[in-house]
Amino acid sequence: MTLTTEADHVFDSAAELFALLSTPVRLRLISALCNQEKNVSELLQEIDTTQPNLSQHLGTLYRAGILGRRREGTQVFYRVVSERAASLCRAVCTQVALEMDGQAQLPEHERLLPALRRR
C-alpha cells in the first residue's frame, strides 16, 4: 500500500490539465477566444474541424471550467474564464513557435520542443 502525498496530488492535477490542453483543436479554441467571445459559427470559420467535433471540444473545456458560455436567442457564445489556463497556453505556444522559427537561442537542455520536432 502506498501513501498518497500532497506532491502526488499536485502532479496528478497538473497532468490532468496538460491532458485537457493536449489537443490542437482545444489550443486553437483557447487562442481564438482569448480576446473576445465568439459563437460556434464564428469559431468554425477560424478552426478547420466539423461542427460536432468543435462542440465536443467546447463542451470539454466548458465542463473543465476553462470556458464559459452564454445563450443569446439560438446562439451560444463562448469565452475564456480561466485566464491562468489561457496564459499557460500562450506561454507554451509562444515558446514553441520561437524555437520552431529558430529565434530562441537557448541551450539544448533549456528548450521545450523535443529535438525531433524542431527539424
At 12, list the grid cell. 496528478
Whichever domain contains 87, its CATH number is: 1.10.10.10
Residue 4 lies in a domain: no
Distance between CA atoms of 18 and 4, rounded to whole angstroms?
Answer: 21
Residue 6 lies in a domain: no
Residue 5 lies in a domain: no
Residue 57 lies in a domain: yes
Residue 63 lies in a domain: yes
Average per-residue pLDDT for the chain:
88
Pick from 46, 49, 18, 20: which is nearest to 31 by CA?
Answer: 46
Give SS3 for 23.
coil
Domain containing residue 20: 15-118
What is the tens place of the pLDDT at every residue in 18-70?
A: 999 999 999 999 999 999 999 999 999 999 999 999 999 999 999 999 999 99
DSSP state of 68: E
Residue 8 lies in a domain: no
Residue 26 lies in a domain: yes
| Contacts with 13 (C-beta within 8 Å, 6 or more apart), sequence order | none
Q: pTM of the entire structure?
A: 0.81
Task: Count structural domains, the chain.
Answer: 1
Pick from 87, 85, 89, 75: which is nearest to 38 by CA?
Answer: 75
